Amino acid sequence: MKYYNRDIENLFTDYTKNFKSILITGPRQIGKSTFLKRLKEEKRSYVTLDDLELRAFANRDPKKFIEMYKPPVIIDEIQYAPKILSYIKIVCDNSEKRNLYWLTGSQKIQIMKNVSETLVGRMGVLDMYSLSNRESNQSKYLPLDLENLVEGDYISKEDVLVKMFNGSMPDVVCNNVNREYFYNSYVDLYVERDIRELKEVQDLETFRLFMAEIASHAGQLLNYSEIASSVGINDKTVKTWTSILENTGIIKLIYQFKHDEFKRKKTHPKLVFMDTGLCIFLLGIKSITRLKEYSFLGNLFESYVISEIIKNNVNFNLNFDFSYYRDKNKREIDLIITDENNKNHLYEIKMNNKVDIRMIKNFQLIKDNISNGGIICTAKVMENLDNKNQIIPLSAIIDWFRKIPKWKKSECVWLCCFNI
């Protein structure tokens, strides 16, 4: 079975030196277990609560379970037996050692509730998503630097359609599993194993309809009433089920820009699917030819680009904050990234390769702390639009530093060595 190295590895290694237990949360089948098994020491054992007998044992007698599976240990799918977290806390409190427990879970909200009650300060929590484009290409250079973008190998519109259609799940990308079979099985497992456990979802078939409907809103502002009407549920249920999709890592919501992030409007968030392959499957699109005909392809492309940036923000702990802009006159900016220095980078995202400065006219609506930005598109080369903004080839955002300019090369090599 082919394995692609994960960019989160350096951050995970840092966590093992600082925490007694580490939890990796993320959707099913994105490679959490495989990642940990690849890194584990010979003496570290592995146990999964997907095993129904072990799950029953852990819930029936969590104290004995923890006594039996002593650290160092990997415990997979921890959400199925949250009671054991209290006993993990006791072990951590009574030990001076770090790096005792490696845990995984697919239902972040359930796990974090128990973590907050028992293991605050004792556990490092990492989010993990499906493969980024950078990971699937096995690029080995620097994290994204918004101040110094460098174009990589050209990614054409045809290339990106293939990437979007195939998706980013390791089994499809690495092992050439038939995507249609994979996603059909994936949705069944997700609904039957993860969603069935939740009291907030009583009707699984309606939830499936909801997933298909929300897929049609990728890259768009969510209108809860519109979705409720289409699916036959109420607005409150749409909001609850949308939160479930976000807390299980299927989607990400970004909110309207405000200079104070705590005042951001929580109404009408923009929806980002973290794996376009899943989104396209839910839409019932079965070929790239049909994908080209999809009415909202531009929105789907926007979702894809933002998902790639989010993945790498998480993998490299970049501390970016994401938002969009829309005013009462419906003037919009597709994406605003606020970096760790509180600088705002403004972007339009267009699937075309022919763009011009008129497309960034709304950038003037944001006045404070503006840094460089531009139009992310399928152009071949980077060009200046004005003194701050550029035409940005897709490769500069999702496949950075595969080509390193000579004037950057020594700096890049030094930093890469330092990070290793």
Asked whether residue 164 falls in the same domain as residue 105, the answer is no
Q: Provide the residue range defining the domain that includes 356.
A: 134-398
Asked whether residue 163 falls in the same domain as residue 304, the answer is yes
What are the two backbone dihedrals, phi and then psi, of residue 43, each rounded to the nearest 5 degrees? -80, -10
Asked whether residue 273 falls in the same domain as residue 243, the answer is yes
**pLDDT tens, 144-192?**
677 777 777 788 899 999 999 999 999 999 888 899 999 999 999 999 8
Does residue 196 lie in a domain region?
yes
Asked whether residue 144 falls in the same domain as residue 79, the answer is no
Asked whether residue 350 falls in the same domain as residue 233, the answer is yes
Asked whether residue 120 falls in the same domain as residue 238, the answer is no
Asked whether residue 220 falls in the same domain as residue 237, the answer is yes
Angstrom distance (rounded) from CA 325 to CA 312: 22
Does residue 416 lie in a domain region?
no
CB 365 within 8 A of CB 327: yes
Asked whether residue 166 falls in the same domain as residue 61, the answer is no
Instruction: Average the pLDDT over each of 62-71, 207-216, 389-398 and give the range with the smallest value.
Output: 389-398
Identify the domain boundary among 127, 161, 182.
Answer: 127
Asked whether residue 330 falls in the same domain as residue 217, the answer is yes
Task: Kindly list the distances between the CA atom of residue 71 and the CA atoms of 80, 83, 90, 121, 233, in Å, as whole numbers in the listed order.
Answer: 19, 17, 12, 19, 46
Per-residue pLDDT, averaged over 285-290, amounts to 96
Asked whether residue 68 falls in the same domain as residue 112, the answer is yes
Does residue 413 lie in a domain region?
no
Report the chain's mean pLDDT, rounded to a whole number: 88
Asked whether residue 249 falls in the same domain as residue 350, the answer is yes
Asked whether residue 184 falls in the same domain as residue 305, the answer is yes
**pLDDT tens, 8-55?**
999 999 999 999 999 999 999 999 999 999 999 999 999 999 999 999
CB 33 within 8 A of CB 76: yes
Number of domains observed in the structure of the chain: 2
Q: What is the CATH number of the domain that holds 26?
A: 3.40.50.300
